[in-house]
Amino acid sequence: MLAFGHMNDIKNSHHIYLAAAICFMIITAQTLWSTIHGDGAVYAWMIREVCHNASSLLNHPLAWTRTNFFIDHPYFFFLVAAPISKIFGTGDIGIKIPNYIVGFISLWMVYKIAKHYSNSFWPGLLACYVLISNPLYELMLKQPTLDPLAQLLSLLSIFVMINNEKPKMKQFFISGLLMGFAFLTKGLELLPNLAALFIVVCNLIKKNNLNPLKVISIGLLGLTLPIVSWLIYDRIFWNQTWYHQYYARQFTNRFFSEANTQTAIDLGYLKNLISKYFIQIGIIIWGTVKALKQGQRLNLFWWYTVLYSFFNIVAFSIIKKDSSQHLTGIFLFSSVLVGHYLYEIYQSMNYSKTQMTLNKILPYFHYTVGAAVLAMWIWFMTHENNKKDLWTYIKNQTAFFSQAENNLPVVLADNVDDLTGVYFTAQWYWSNNKIFFAQEAKSLFGENAPEVFLITKKDENSFNIERTLYHP
C-alpha cells in the first residue's frame, strides 16, 4: 500500500501523519458501536471496581460473580487501566480508552522495529497497516482485553534487546522486568514469549562473548521482581487466596484435567491460525526463502517471532484452546516481518515500468485510503448502532433496569444461550441489579422466594424477561 521505493523520506514524511490519522480512525471508528460483552465485560467490571473501591483490594481479590473471586489472571492490566478510566470515566467509552492507548503504542513500536531493520520508513508504515487491518487484532482493541497489553510488554522486552548492537547489563534487567509485568497481565500464557526471549538472549551472550551467569541472573532478577511482589501481596493481604485458586484452575482443572489429558495434542489452534492468516504466512515464507537464497542472515527479531509462534502453537495445541485472542502475539510480531517483506517485493521490481507507475499512483492511493477511512469514521460516529445481536439486546435493556421500581435481583436460567457471556454482559450494563446464576440464587436465596426478574431462553439474539417470585 505504501511502498515508494527510494523516494526521499523527509520529502514524504507527511505520510507518517496521514498513516497515524488512519490508524486512529480505524481503532476508534466503532467506539459507539462496539458493545462490551463476554470477557470484555468481565475486565470492564474489574476496572470499574478498582476505580470505585480500590481499598477492597486490601481485604480480598476482586469478585467476578456473587460467590467467586477473579483468579484467572493477575491484576496488572486492571491497575494500569483504572487510573486512565478514572480520568475519562468508567462508562462504555472511558473503559475502552486504555486499550486504545495500548494499540497506538503497539503500532508505534511495530513501526520503530520495522524501520530499525531498514533505511526507509515505508516498511514501518506497511507493518502498521498489516497489523491494524487485521480484524481480529482490531477486535482486541475495541473493549477491555488483556492480550494487547501483555503482548505489547513482550514486544518492548525484545525491542530493548535488539535496539543496540551489544546490549548492556541494564538492558537485560529492563527486558526481564518488562516480561515480568507481561506475566502479571496474562499469567502462564506468556511462557512461549519467555522461551523465545531466552533463546534470543542466549544468542546475544554467544555473539558478544558475555558472561552467561551474570546476564541470565540479571534478567531473572528483573523477571521475578514483579511476580514475587504480586505473590507477596497475595500472601500478606489475601492469605494466598489468589495463588491457591489460580493453581487449581490453571493446572488441576485445566492442564491436568481429565478432558485435557485424553489426547496429547489437538491441531485446532494451528488450523485457526492458518485459516485466518494464510496470506501473511505465505509472505513471510517467501521473504525467508528469498533471504536464505541470497545468503542473508535472519535477524534476531525474525528468530523471536518464529520461535514464539512455534512455542505458542505447541502450547495451545497441548491445552487444546483455539481462541483467536491467543493469536494476538503472532499478529503483532509477524506484522513487522510482513511489512518488511512487502517492501522487498516492491523493491524486487528494480525500477521496472511497473515500479515507476506505482511510484506515481501509490501516494494518491494513500490519500484515497485516508479519505475513505475518514468517511467510514464519520458514518460510524453519526449513526446509531443497529446491530441485532445478543449483546446489543442486553445493552438496550439498560434503561428498563435502571428504573428504581425495577431494581430487583436478576436470575439467569440454565437454558439461556451463552450463559456466562450473558451473565457478565448483563452485570456490566445493568449495574443497579445483582445478577445471579441459577445455582447461586438457589444457594443464596434458599426458600425465601424473593421477587426477581427471571431470564429464560428465547432465541440466540434475545431472551425472555419475567417478573416473578423465584422458586429454585
Q: Which residue type occupies 417?
A: D
pLDDT tens-digit series, residues 126-141: 999 999 999 999 999 9
pLDDT at 438 exceeding the cut of 50? yes
Q: Residues 6 or more apart from 308 whose CB is under 8 A from it?
A: 192, 193, 195, 196, 329, 330, 333
Q: Residues 6 or more apart from 457 whose CB is under 8 A from it?
A: 413, 415, 416, 417, 463, 464
Q: Which three cell numbers stand for residue 11?
A: 520529502
Across 145-154, 211-220, 258-267, least confident range? 258-267
d(CA 298, CA 53): 50
Q: Which residue type occupies 329?
A: G
Give yes or no for a contact between 295 and 104, defined as CB atoms under 8 angstroms apart.
no
To the nearest whole percent, how much of the chain has pLDDT over 70?
95
Average per-residue pLDDT for the chain: 90
d(CA 306, CA 411): 47
Residue 324 DSSP code: G
d(CA 157, CA 178): 5
- Among residues 91, 92, 133, the alpha carbon closest in space to that of 2 is found at 133
Q: Quickly state the pLDDT bin for 109 (edges 50, 70, 90).
A: very high
Q: Name which residue leads in pLDDT, 329 or 10.
A: 329
pLDDT tens-digit series, residues 310-367: 999 999 998 878 788 899 999 999 999 999 999 888 877 776 777 777 777 878 888 9
Q: What pLDDT is attached to residue 259?
A: 67
Mean pLDDT to the nearest integer, 241-248: 91
d(CA 412, CA 453): 9
E strand or H helix that includes residue 468: strand 462-469
Q: What pLDDT is attached to residue 278?
A: 92
Give yes or no for a contact between 19 and 197, defined as CB atoms under 8 angstroms apart.
no
Q: Residues 6 or more apart from 46 whose CB is under 8 A from it?
A: 62, 64, 70, 75, 78
- Sole residue written with cell 481485604: 59
- Among the residues of 163-299, which ranges form H helices? 169-186, 191-208, 212-238, 241-247, 258-261, 268-293
Residue 12 DSSP code: T
- Strands of the sheet containing 435-437, edge to edge, are 435-437, 410-412, 451-459, 462-469
Across 144-153, 254-263, 277-286, 356-365, least confident range? 254-263
Give helix 300-318 / helix 191-208 axis angle, nearest 10°.
150
Give yes or no for a contact between 204 and 186, defined as CB atoms under 8 angstroms apart.
no
Q: Name which residue leads in pLDDT, 66 or 24.
A: 24
Q: Residue 148, Cβ neighbours under 10 Å: how many? A: 27
Sign of the Cα pseudo-torsion (145, 147, 150, 151, in order): negative
Q: Please tell me the pTM assigned to this model.
A: 0.91
Give yes or no for a contact between 102 and 76, defined as CB atoms under 8 angstroms apart.
no
- Sole residue written with cell 489426547: 263
Give yes or no for a contact between 221 and 175, defined as CB atoms under 8 angstroms apart.
no
Mean pLDDT to the nearest integer, 260-281: 86
Residue 69 DSSP code: B
The number of residues making up the chain comes to 472
Residue 63 DSSP code: B
